[in-house]
Structure 1
Amino acid sequence: MNFDEKIIDSLDELEKFLLSVENGGLGLTNVAGVALATNNADGRPFIAVLDDKHQLLLGRWVTKDIYENGKDLVRHGPKKNLH
């Protein structure tokens, strides 16, 4: 898996991450979506950036709080503009 070891621990960080994905700031190609998920081995939550075949392009760990409280942000997308 292609995981960034940084941990997202605030909704503001999650929003910035989502904006970076949307704006191409992470250098990823063929991005089709994002999802909150848990690791099958240990249950650790993460945000997954997926391609059009639902393959993981990039994962970043999130805290349990962000996993629970960031679902609407992931589902509906960020509202801020990235400058």
Structure 2
Amino acid sequence: MINDNDIIDTLEELEAFLRSVESGKLGLDNAAGIALATNNADGRPFIAVLDDNHQLLLGRWVTQEVYDNGKDLVRNAPQQRH
């Protein structure tokens, strides 16, 4: 499920999205992983929340800049702020 009107266009928005998923604010059951990916049909980048079977639970489009520069943030998870 990807909302075409909801695009993450800054690293700050990406970090906020990751924190929302990790904290359970989005109410996703069985969320097991998060990955940056590209749509097979048109190559458009998105962030994917996946379940234990690697099925898409939630996706949000991201800009190419966020895709290119947000990989470490997704891979390492946002660091706790003090």
Q: Does 1:3 align with 2:2?
A: yes
- Aligned residue pairs, count: 80
Matches of 2:26 and 2:9 in 1, distance apart? 19
Unaligned runs of 5+ in 1: none
RMSD: 0.9
Q: Is the 8 A contact 1:4 1:58 kept in 2?
A: no
Question: Which residue in the other structure is 1:33 paired with?
Answer: 33
Alpha-carbon deviation of 1:8?
0.2
Match for 1:9: what amino acid? D
Matches of 1:59 and 1:41 in 2, distance apart? 15
TM-score normalized with structure 1 length: 0.93
In the TM superposition, structure 1's runs of 4+ consecutive aligned residues that sit over 4 Å from their partners are none
Describe the superposition over 1:53-82 as per-residue Cα deviations: whole angstroms up to 9, x where unpaired.
00000000000000000000000001145x
TM-score normalized with structure 2 length: 0.94
- Identical pairs, percent: 70
